[in-house]
Amino acid sequence: MSPIDAQISSRPAVAERVALVRAQLAPISSRRALLDSYRRESLCRLASPTQNGRSAGEVLDIAYALRWAELAPDDPEMEADDCP
């Protein structure tokens, strides 16, 4: 289990929200498309607190990071410069 997975599993409310966002990100099949989505999302983000004090931004960041890790690199040069 990765450190992120362990942290998420200890907070059921956060884990549920991350799972919901990850399900919405599932159709994105490349890191470049995921990066474009993250950039658009970050422009619209509202950092309102959740039930347990976690911000919506933190949930989004975790979900995007997990999806990023699942996807194969598109372009090796992009990896170092464009990580979310």
Report the pLDDT value the prediction gives residue 13, as an integer from 0 to 100. 82
Report the pLDDT value the prediction gives residue 33, as an integer from 0 to 100. 95
Report the pLDDT value the prediction gives residue 50, as an integer from 0 to 100. 47
Domain segments of the chain as ranges: 3-82
Distance, first Cα to last Cα, the chain: 22
Rounded CA-CA distance 56/17 in Å is: 9
Q: How big, in percent rounded to 5, are the helix, strand and coil portions of the chain?
A: 70, 0, 30
Report the pLDDT value the prediction gives residue 57, as an integer from 0 to 100. 79
Q: Give the pLDDT means over successive 10-residue stretches in the chain (84 positions).
A: 58 83 94 93 62 69 92 68 53
Residue whose C-alpha is closest to residue 38's, from 60, 14, 55, 58: 60
